[in-house]
Structure 1
C-alpha cells in the first residue's frame, strides 16, 4: 500500500488512476457501437438488395427480340404514337454477321465479353480508377449483357435500384443464354439513329447493303460507333464526329490484333462521306417536326444522351396541341391558304407556336416538305437566319425601358449617326425624321433611334436583357446587333420564347415540348421548367402597348399580320444582301434572304421565319407577295387558335402612369413633353438637310460583311437627304422672330416647329402626330410600294419614313430594311 505524505497527494493519485482505468472501457464501447452500426448497415443493405431483386422484372424473350419504343402523348394525354415501326426493324441471325462486324462492337463496348459472367469486376475497377483520375463519367463499366438488360427491361433512371436489378438480371441472362445469343440480341435491339433499329436496318440505312456480309471493316467500325451516342455519331448528320469515332475503333481492332495494320490503314483512308450511301427512313409518324424536337429535348436530359428512344419503353407526355399542329402543317405545307409560295424546293419555313403563359410548345413546323424532314434539319428549332428588326424590342428598346425607365414618348433624334467605330448608319429610305418618340421609332422600324437606344443603355445591359429571354451569343454583342446583325442567326423557337415574356408580364418560361416521362415501373420525372422574371412588369406592358401599333397603326410595318378584334402585338423583321452578295449571286434589287414576323397575345405566341435554308446564295424572296408570307402564316394561325374564345387584353400594371404615352410611375415629366424634347431636338444640326452630294452607288461595299438591315447605311453615306431649302426655313425663322414680341417663352415655342418642319417636312406626311408635313407629298406612297417591299413589306410600310423614297430614284438600289 502506498504511503502518501498528505491528503492532497492521495487525492491527486486517486484521480490519475481513475482516468487510466476509464480509457479502455470507452474505447471498447466505441468499437462495439461501430460494429453494431456496420452490422445493421450490412443487414439493411442486404435486405434492400433482396427487395430490389425480388422486384426485378422477368427475363421475357419477346422483350429481348423487339423492345418497345417510347409512347408519345399530347397535351390532353391522348396517345399520338410510338417511336418505332416494324418497317424500320430487320432481325438478323448471328450467322449472317461477319466476324469483323461482331469484333468491332466487342472491341469498343466490351473487350472481355467472352471472359466475364455478365458483370466485369475487372472493368468496374478500371472505370472507378478512370473516373477518379479523369473525372466522373470518363469511362463506363457496363458490359454488353448489362446494356441489353437495361434496354430491354429497365428504366433509364440512374438509381441504386435500377443498377442492382441490372446486375442481377445480367447474371441470370448469362446463365440462360449463350454468348452468341446475347450478342445477337444486343445487335438487333440497339438503336442506330435515323430510325434504324438493329444492325440489319442500319446497314440498309447508311450503306444501302441488305446483305451484312457486304459490310467492310470501315463500315463495321462506323456502325459500332453509333450506339454509344446515336444522334452525335450519326455519320449522315455529323460525319466529322463519326469519322473520328470510326478511326478510334479501327485502332482498337488493330491493338487487339483483330485486324492487320494494313487493313486498319486502308479503312482509315476512306472519307466517311464517300463511304456512305444514305437512305432516309420511310417514317409516317404524325407531326414529325414536333416529334423530332421531342426526341432532341429528351436526349438532352442528363443521363438520357445514349437512350434508344425506339426501344426505351417509357411514356413521354408532351405539350402538343394536335389541332394547332395539324392546321399549321396544312397552312405551311400546302397551297390551300397561302397561294404565293415560291415554286422552289429550297424555300423553307420555320414556325413555332407557344403558350404565352407557360412556354409550352403547342405546334412546330420545321420544313415545307415534311416527308423529307425525319430527324433532319428543323428550321423551327435550328438557327435559320438573321432576325432583322425583330431584335429591336429585345436588344434596344426593351433594355432602355428596363434599365433607363424610358417612357414610350421618349424623344430620340433621328438624324445622321454613326456606330462607335465611325461606320455611318441610315434608315432604309436614307431619310431622317428629326425628333421622334420611341413609340414612333419602333412602329416605323427606324434604324438610327434603335442604335442610339442600345448605345445609351450599354452593350452589357442590352446583352444581359436578351440573355434573360433565352437568347444566346457565342461572343459579346456589338453595336450592329441592334439591327439584327447576328453572325449565327436565331431560331423561331428562340424568338417565340423571348417574345412570350412580353405577353406574360415579364415572366420568362423556357420553351419546352415535354411535360414528364413515366417509366415502366411507374416512376416519373417532371420536366416542366421553372419560371423566371426577366424584366419589370412595366417594361413588358409598355413594349406590348408599342408593338400593338406595329399591326394597328397606319404607319405600322405589320398591318397585314393583324387579326380583327384580337388584342395582338408583334414585330416584323427583314435581313438583306450586301451589294457584293447581290452581284455574286445575281440577286435583283428588292430580293431579300429572310423575312420574319413574331407576335403574341396573352394566350399564344408565334414566330415565323421564311427564307432559304441552304445558305445565302441558295435563293431569295422577291419583292411583293413572297415577302408577305410570314405575315400571312401568322395571321392565319392566330385567327385559328383564337377562334371561339375571347382573349384578354394585356393587363396594365400599377407601376405605369400616363395615357397617350406611358411612363414608369414617378418619372412623369413636370413640364410639357415638348419642352423635354427641345434639348434633344437642338442636337440635330440644321445643316444635315443641306447635303447636296450626288448618290454614290458603290459606297455600299464599304461594309460587305454586314448583310443585315443596316446594310443600306453604307449606301447612304453620300445619299441626298430629303431637301427643303434651309435658306427658306432660315427666312421663315427670321420672319417669325421679327413678328413675335420679346417674350422668351413665345420665341422658343415658335422656333421649335420651324426646326422640325425644316428637317423632314415630307417625311412626316403620313404620320397623324406630325401634321406639318405637306399633304401633297402623300400620293407618292403608292408608287413607292416596290421600294418599300424591300424593307419589310409592301403597303404595310407606307409610313412617314419611306414616303419620300421615290423622290430619289437611287433608293431603288437600297438593301432591305425593316
Structure 2
C-alpha cells in the first residue's frame, strides 16, 4: 500500500507579506537613490537669486537693440505696505496654512500625489508659497520627481534661514503675474494702472491678481477675460472659505466687470508691440516664463524696423479702411492685419496684428485670427494643383457657364457668364465658376488638399468640398499662413517655414538656439512661375490693379460673402505681404472689396519698403516655353480657327497641346434665325462656329459664337412649299454664292485681316 504524499497548502497571507516587504525595499531603494541624486545636483541657495534677475534683450535683424523685456518691469514693495487683503488673497488661493507649516504641506503633497497617481502623470503641484519661491528662484519649470525632491529640501532650508514675512515678501515681489510683470507692484500697474502703496486696489482687482500665478497666460484678462473672471471668482470663494471676507462681499465683487488699464504707461517702453508679442509667445513656450523674463537672454530677430514702421503707419491710417467705428471695448472696427516676409529665407520682416495697440499684450490677428480667404485661395486650391498635377496651364480653357455640384451652385460675383475662357482670364477677373470647375472636374479634392498641405495649410477632407475653390474653409487661415503659402510661388516652388528668431543666447554667451531654415519643395519651379505670371495679370489688368507699384508684382484679391473678409496677398521678387481686413465679429461690408482697401494698404507698404531697392524681374526657370493656341479650345490653331481667337502664352515643357482646334467648325445656319436650317428657310449662311456637345443659355457671352442645337422656328409651312419650284433642292456647304430656288448660301469665314 503506497503512502500518499502530503501536499503543503499555499499560505497566501505569508506570500502577501513577502511581496509587500519586497516592494517596500524596491521602492525604498529607488527613493533613496533618487534623493541622493537630487541632493547631488541641487543648486545652492543665495540671497541674490531670491531677489533679482536680468532682462531679456531683443535685437533687430541688424543687431540693434530694440527693447528689453522682463525683470525691469519689476518694482519691489515692502510687505508692511501691502494691503492686508492682497496678502490674504494670495494665501487663500495658494497656501492657506503658510504660517503653520515649515516649508511643505503634507496635506497638499498627499492631494497632489493622489492626483498624479490616478492621472498617470505629474499634473498637480501641491506646492506651498515657499516651494514656489524656491522654484522660480533656483529651479526649472519641468515636472519631474527629481526637481520635486530638490524643491522640498530647499524649501526646508529657506524656512530655516528666513522668517515667514520675509519669504512672503520675496514671493510677492518675484512671482510672475503675466504680461512681463514680476511681482504685485508691476502687475497692479500693468493691469490697473495703480500703485500698491496707494491702497486703492478694489477687492475684485486683488482677487484677479491673486489668481494669476497658477497660469499667467491662460488667466490673462487681456487675452481671455472670461477665464480671468472665472479664476478671480475662485479666489473670492477661497477667501470666504478661510474667513478673510464675507460671502456678501464676495458676491458683490463677483458682480463687478473687469476694468483694465489701457493707456500707454511711460515706464513701459514697448515698440513694435505685435511683433514683440509674437516673439515673447514663442520664447515663453520654448524656454519658460522665468527664463524669458528673468534669465537675461539675448534674442536676435528678423525684425526689419523700417518695414515694421511702414506697416504700422499704413495700418494706423483711417483712410486705408472702410468707414470705421469703435466697438463696445473702444477698439476701431473693422480691424486688420499685415505680415511681410522674405520668401527666400522665411524671415518675418514685419507683423502687425491690428490697427491699434494699447501697450498691453492683446489678440494678434496676424497669427491668431483664422478667417475665410475668399478668392485669394484660388491659386492654392484650384489653379496651382491644376498646373502641378493636371498638366494645365494659363492658356487651358474652361467653359464659364452655369453649373452645379449636387446642391452647391457657384455664381460669379458680377453675374456674368463669359463662356469658353482661359485660366489666365478666369484668374485675372476672379471668375468663380471656372475655379470650382477646375477643382472638381480637373484636379480633385485630394490633390487640392495635398497641394495646400505642401504650402503649410492643413485641411480635413471630411470638412471640405467644391466651395474650397473659392476659399470656403472649415476653420479659415491666418494672414501669416497666406503670406507663407504665396511665398512658395515667389520662391520658385520652395516653401520655407516662417521664423522671427535667428539666434538665442544665454547671459554667458552660450547659444541656446541657432535658426536653421526648414524647407521643402512644394511644387515644380515651372508651376510656381506660371502661377506667378498669371497673378501678374491680376495686378496689371484684373481685380488687383490697385496694387500696382511700378515694378513687377503679382497677387490676388479675396472678398468673402457680403464683404465680411477682405484680402490682398501679393509679392515682388523681394518680398511677400498678406493684408486682411474685417470686423472681429464678422460683419458685412457691402461696398468694400479685396481690390479696394487691402490693395491700398499693400501698395503703400510695398512701394515704401522697396523704394531704395533696384527693380528686378521674376526669374524664369528652365522648362518654360511659349506657344500660340486657340483661346476657345486651348489647342493648337486649326484651319477653322479665327484670328481673333488666337492667344500666346507660357507652358511648362511637355504640356504644349499636340492636337488642333476641334471646336471651330463651318456650320450652316438659317440667315434670319441663326438656328439650324429647315427646308422652309429661304436664306442660309455657313459660319465658323463653336460646336460642343451641349447647349448653353443665351446669357453666356459667347452664345452667338456657338453652333445652334435647335432647328429654325422662324420659317414654317406656308412660305416656300415642297413640290413647287425649288422644292427638295440641296445645298453644298462651302460653295459660295450658289443660287437655288430657296435662296443664297453665303460663307462667312469670320477671319479678320
Q: Tell me the equivalent position of 1:138.
A: 123
Distance in structure 1 (CA, Å) of the matches to 2:707 and 2:34: 98
Q: Tell me the equivalent position of 1:596.
A: 567
Which of 673, 688, 692 is the aligned partner of 2:697? 688
Which of 175, 182, 185 is the aligned partner of 1:190? 175
- 1:722 Cα deviation from its structure 2 partner: 8.2
Matched ranges for 1:37-52 at <5 A: 50=40, 52=41
User: Do 1:608 and 1:634's aligned partners in 2 also have CA atoms closer than 8 Å?
Assistant: no
User: Do 2:493 and 2:522's aligned partners in 1 also have CA atoms closer than 8 Å?
Assistant: yes
| 1:636 aligns to 2:623 (yes or no) | no
Which of 511, 519, 530 is the aligned partner of 2:498? 511
User: Do 1:389 and 1:483's aligned partners in 2 also have CA atoms closer than 8 Å?
Assistant: yes
Q: Describe the SS at the equivalent of 1:418.
A: coil
Distance in structure 2 (CA, Å) of the matches to 1:571 and 1:477: 22
- 1:525 Cα deviation from its structure 2 partner: 3.6
Q: Tell me the equivalent position of 1:608.
A: 579
With over 3 angstroms needed to count, the CA separation of the structure-2 counterparts of 1:619 and 1:688, relative to structure 1, is closer
With over 3 angstroms needed to count, the CA separation of the structure-2 counterparts of 1:188 and 1:683, relative to structure 1, is farther
With over 3 angstroms needed to count, the CA separation of the structure-2 counterparts of 1:47 and 1:574, relative to structure 1, is closer
Q: Describe the SS at the equivalent of 2:618.
A: coil
Q: Tell me the equivalent position of 1:532.
A: 520
- 1:421 Cα deviation from its structure 2 partner: 0.6
Which of 326, 335, 341 is the aligned partner of 2:309? 326
Distance in structure 1 (CA, Å) of the matches to 2:517 and 2:119: 32
Q: Tell me the equivalent position of 2:390.
A: 404
| 1:652 aligns to 2:621 (yes or no) | yes
Write the deviation string for residues 632-670 of structure 1: whole angstroms up to 9, x where unpaired: 235425533xx335656335255x666554555555433
Q: Describe the SS at the equivalent of 1:739.
A: coil
User: Do 1:571 and 1:598's aligned partners in 2 also have CA atoms closer than 8 Å?
Assistant: yes
Larger mean Cα displacement after TM superposition, 324-333 or 175-184:
324-333
- 1:500 Cα deviation from its structure 2 partner: 1.0
Structure-2-length-normalised TM-score: 0.73
Matched ranges for 1:21-60 at <5 A: 50=40, 52-53=41-42, 56=43, 59-60=46-47
User: Do 1:104 and 1:220's aligned partners in 2 also have CA atoms closer than 8 Å?
Assistant: yes
Matched ranges for 1:552-567 at <5 A: 552=540, 555-566=541-552
Distance in structure 2 (CA, Å) of the matches to 1:130 and 1:45: 22
User: Do 2:559 and 2:594's aligned partners in 1 also have CA atoms closer than 8 Å?
Assistant: no
Distance in structure 1 (CA, Å) of the matches to 2:54 and 2:109: 29
Distance in structure 1 (CA, Å) of the matches to 2:507 and 2:389: 50
With over 3 angstroms needed to count, the CA separation of the structure-2 counterparts of 1:346 and 1:43, relative to structure 1, is closer
User: Do 1:127 and 1:140's aligned partners in 2 also have CA atoms closer than 8 Å?
Assistant: yes
Matched ranges for 1:202-241 at <5 A: 202-206=187-191, 210=195, 214-215=200-201, 217-241=203-227
Distance in structure 2 (CA, Å) of the matches to 1:622 and 1:594: 8
Write the deviation string for residues 164-200 of structure 1: whole angstroms up to 9, x where unpaired: 8766765553343222222222222233334544223
User: Do 2:420 and 2:702's aligned partners in 1 also have CA atoms closer than 8 Å?
Assistant: no
- 1:394 Cα deviation from its structure 2 partner: 1.2
- 1:572 Cα deviation from its structure 2 partner: 1.8
**What's the C-alpha RMSD, in Å, of the aligned pairs?**
4.5
Distance in structure 2 (CA, Å) of the matches to 1:402 and 1:501: 13
Structure 2 residues not aligned, in runs of 5+? 1-24, 326-331, 628-647, 666-688, 713-729, 737-747
- 1:595 Cα deviation from its structure 2 partner: 3.3
Q: Describe the SS at the equivalent of 2:733.
A: helix
Q: Tell me the equivalent position of 1:355.
A: 342
With over 3 angstroms needed to count, the CA separation of the structure-2 counterparts of 1:537 and 1:126, relative to structure 1, is farther
User: Do 1:289 and 1:373's aligned partners in 2 also have CA atoms closer than 8 Å?
Assistant: no
Distance in structure 2 (CA, Å) of the matches to 1:609 and 1:232: 27
User: Do 1:415 and 1:684's aligned partners in 2 also have CA atoms closer than 8 Å?
Assistant: no
With over 3 angstroms needed to count, the CA separation of the structure-2 counterparts of 1:426 and 1:617, relative to structure 1, is closer
- 1:686 Cα deviation from its structure 2 partner: 4.2
Distance in structure 2 (CA, Å) of the matches to 1:79 and 1:260: 50
Q: Tell me the equivalent position of 1:81.
A: 67
Q: Describe the SS at the equivalent of 2:310.
A: helix
With over 3 angstroms needed to count, the CA separation of the structure-2 counterparts of 1:79 and 1:619, relative to structure 1, is farther
Q: Tell me the equivalent position of 2:734.
A: 739
Q: Tell me the equivalent position of 1:453.
A: 438
Q: Tell me the equivalent position of 1:713.
A: none
- 1:343 Cα deviation from its structure 2 partner: 7.3
Larger mean Cα displacement after TM superposition, 530-539 or 568-577:
530-539
Q: Describe the SS at the equivalent of 2:274.
A: helix
- 1:244 Cα deviation from its structure 2 partner: 2.6
User: Do 2:222 and 2:360's aligned partners in 1 also have CA atoms closer than 8 Å?
Assistant: no
Distance in structure 2 (CA, Å) of the matches to 1:173 and 1:620: 67
Write the deviation string for residues 739-770 of structure 1: whole angstroms up to 9, x where unpaired: 269xxxxxxxxxxx99xx9xxxxxxxxxxxxx
With over 3 angstroms needed to count, the CA separation of the structure-2 counterparts of 1:78 and 1:204, relative to structure 1, is closer
| 1:181 aligns to 2:193 (yes or no) | no
Q: Tell me the equivalent position of 1:501.
A: 488
- 1:502 Cα deviation from its structure 2 partner: 1.7
With over 3 angstroms needed to count, the CA separation of the structure-2 counterparts of 1:267 and 1:537, relative to structure 1, is same
With over 3 angstroms needed to count, the CA separation of the structure-2 counterparts of 1:241 and 1:222, relative to structure 1, is same
User: Do 1:595 and 1:630's aligned partners in 2 also have CA atoms closer than 8 Å?
Assistant: no
User: Do 1:67 and 1:189's aligned partners in 2 also have CA atoms closer than 8 Å?
Assistant: no
With over 3 angstroms needed to count, the CA separation of the structure-2 counterparts of 1:155 and 1:662, relative to structure 1, is farther
Structure ranking higher on relative contact order (CA contacts 8 Å, 6+ apart) = 1
User: Do 1:509 and 1:531's aligned partners in 2 also have CA atoms closer than 8 Å?
Assistant: yes
Distance in structure 2 (CA, Å) of the matches to 1:460 and 1:438: 21
| 1:440 aligns to 2:425 (yes or no) | yes
Q: Tell me the equivalent position of 2:478.
A: 491
Write the deviation string for residues 266-321 of structure 1: whole angstroms up to 9, x where unpaired: 555x25xx2435444524312112111112223444x63x5584445323332212
Write the deviation string for residues 385-419 of structure 1: whole angstroms up to 9, x where unpaired: 53221110111112323333333332211111224
More strand by share: 2
Q: Describe the SS at the equivalent of 2:659.
A: coil
- 1:92 Cα deviation from its structure 2 partner: 2.9
Q: Describe the SS at the equivalent of 2:558.
A: strand
Question: Which structure would you say has the larger Rg?
Answer: 2
Distance in structure 2 (CA, Å) of the matches to 1:291 and 1:111: 37
With over 3 angstroms needed to count, the CA separation of the structure-2 counterparts of 1:124 and 1:340, relative to structure 1, is closer
Distance in structure 2 (CA, Å) of the matches to 1:623 and 1:398: 20
Write the deviation string for residues 445-483 of structure 1: whole angstroms up to 9, x where unpaired: 211110112223333442343244233558712332322
Distance in structure 2 (CA, Å) of the matches to 1:736 and 1:627: 61
Matched ranges for 1:742-753 at <5 A: none
Which of 514, 522, 533 is the aligned partner of 1:545? 533
User: Do 2:479 and 2:578's aligned partners in 1 also have CA atoms closer than 8 Å?
Assistant: yes
Q: Tell me the equivalent position of 2:356.
A: 369
With over 3 angstroms needed to count, the CA separation of the structure-2 counterparts of 1:223 and 1:326, relative to structure 1, is same
Q: Describe the SS at the equivalent of 1:517.
A: strand
Write the deviation string for residues 12-38 of structure 1: whole angstroms up to 9, x where unpaired: xxxxxxxxxxxxxxxxxxxxxxx9xx9
| 1:469 aligns to 2:482 (yes or no) | no
Aligned residues: 646
Larger mean Cα displacement after TM superposition, 400-409 or 115-124:
115-124
Which of 300, 303, 324 is the aligned partner of 1:317? 300
- 1:329 Cα deviation from its structure 2 partner: 2.8
Distance in structure 2 (CA, Å) of the matches to 1:285 and 1:609: 24
Larger mean Cα displacement after TM superposition, 137-146 or 597-606:
137-146
Q: Describe the SS at the equivalent of 1:497.
A: helix
Larger mean Cα displacement after TM superposition, 723-732 or 291-300:
723-732
- 1:95 Cα deviation from its structure 2 partner: 2.6
Distance in structure 2 (CA, Å) of the matches to 1:515 and 1:167: 38
Larger mean Cα displacement after TM superposition, 230-239 or 444-453:
230-239
Distance in structure 2 (CA, Å) of the matches to 1:364 and 1:527: 19
With over 3 angstroms needed to count, the CA separation of the structure-2 counterparts of 1:59 and 1:683, relative to structure 1, is farther
Structure 1 residues not aligned, in runs of 5+? 1-34, 578-591, 692-719, 742-752, 758-770, 775-818
With over 3 angstroms needed to count, the CA separation of the structure-2 counterparts of 1:682 and 1:125, relative to structure 1, is farther
User: Do 2:343 and 2:491's aligned partners in 1 also have CA atoms closer than 8 Å?
Assistant: yes
Distance in structure 2 (CA, Å) of the matches to 1:161 and 1:532: 40
